[in-house]
Structure 1
């Protein structure tokens, strides 16, 4: 299992890197197929945000869906502990989901033969234009840019997406801890967004790409 620690707007000391490796050593017990864990440490320079000045984001990459967790605190050691607690909970959910899916698949296989459809994700083609330097061209790559005349920063990131249904999209949304999840509906082939409404209620918005 590879652990990659990077800092954004901050330096990461070797002592903290070793601490991260010790803390993440047991992740493979909850996710045996994990290949790599990305650890991103961010420092917020605004003194008004001193209580959440250190943010740690953990991203587990395996053959299945990406699992992500992040947390902020006044020091990065505390932020790491908070993020790790969230990550472990989401890894347990992922394990439970795999168990449910396997049981469902075993039941279907026992009843009727199942045809396997190749749904390998396709990497989207990116057209070159005058703003090509603002477009990420590699999976996982992020490009940040400022809106002209504004302090607003936009972070543009490219993700790989496999067709799925709404239930699968909501499961993955919960795994990464976001309030929304962009996906391609495998029945309609429409770009869609699953989002959290309130409590345990969710919504899905789809785009009709045939409109003129």
Structure 2
């Protein structure tokens, strides 16, 4: 292996990388930038075995500042992580999407460390969790909760109140901790799953900072009566 080939290998992830463009050609120098960024991401989760990066140009004159879209989907052993960003250039969108993906993977890593240590997390893990929560809050404030429309450009005539998308997911039972990790990895504010302990359809959702909520469905007979005031 030559020196140049060795340097190129060092800047490429071991996982499989697929880069596609919708309405745009992907130049070689951009592919090299993608590989270099993903090589760093891969170190956060060695179980990742593939990355799919999609570029899309959205020709909307009213949204020129968000015309270039980059979506990164990373898959591993039984889990998936996704991040998306829209900017005025593909390079800026790549930086933003990689940053989101990195934050998600770091949050899940800390969450698993806290879970393994029990309810009373060591001080070090608690400090890291607090820092990540603060960083996530700053990111939400700077980007805006509704800045990215996941369905933008997919529907020409939109009528409010209609179901615009249907999705089916496998109902594999999992623990609440695993559901929280999956929610962080896909970058959503909620996650629907079957609770392995209760076998009930349940939803975990994001509340404030590093706090979460849990909602579960149960037969009416199993729900405790609310005492009258």
User: Same-fold call, TM > 0.5?
Assistant: yes
1:151 corresponding residue in structure 2 = 158
1:46 to 60, 83, 87: 60
2:123 corresponding residue in structure 1 = none
TM-score, scaled to structure 2? 0.61
1:13 corresponding residue in structure 2 = 26
- In 1, the alpha carbon distance for the partners of 2:51 and 2:42 equals 10
Q: What 5-or-longer segments of structure 1 have no aligned partner?
A: 105-145
1:191 corresponding residue in structure 2 = 201
- In 2, the alpha carbon distance for the partners of 1:69 and 1:100 equals 24
SS for the counterpart of 1:91 is: helix
2:189 corresponding residue in structure 1 = 179
1:59 to 59, 68, 73: 73
Q: CA deviation at 1:24?
A: 1.2
1:202 corresponding residue in structure 2 = 212
Q: CA deviation at 1:86?
A: 1.6
- In 2, the alpha carbon distance for the partners of 1:13 and 1:30 equals 26
Q: What is the RMSD of the two structures over their aligned residues, measured on CA atoms? A: 3.0
SS for the counterpart of 1:17 is: helix
1:82 corresponding residue in structure 2 = 96
Cα 1:201–1:29 shift into 2, 3 Å: closer
1:91 to 105, 115, 135: 105
- In 1, the alpha carbon distance for the partners of 2:64 and 2:54 equals 18
Cα 1:17–1:157 shift into 2, 3 Å: farther
Number of residue pairs matched by the alignment: 168
SS for the counterpart of 1:178 is: coil
- In 2, the alpha carbon distance for the partners of 1:81 and 1:20 equals 9
Give the strand-richer structure, 1 or 2: 1
Residues 185 and 192 of structure 1 are in contact (CA less than 8 Å); yes or no, is this contact kept in structure 2?
A: yes
Give the helix-richer structure, 1 or 2: 2
- In 2, the alpha carbon distance for the partners of 1:190 and 1:6 equals 39
TM-score, scaled to structure 1? 0.65
Q: CA deviation at 1:30?
A: 1.4
Q: CA deviation at 1:62?
A: 0.8
Q: CA deviation at 1:73?
A: 0.7
Cα 1:77–1:47 shift into 2, 3 Å: same
Q: CA deviation at 1:83?
A: 0.9
For residues 81-124 of structure 1, the C-alpha deviation after alignment (integer angstroms, 9 at most, x for no partner) is 011112122222233334344555xxxxxxxxxxxxxxxxxxxx
Residues 20 and 26 of structure 2 are in contact (CA less than 8 Å); yes or no, is this contact kept in structure 1?
A: no
2:17 corresponding residue in structure 1 = 3
Q: What 5-or-longer segments of structure 2 have no aligned partner?
A: 1-14, 119-153, 222-229
- In 2, the alpha carbon distance for the partners of 1:72 and 1:43 equals 9
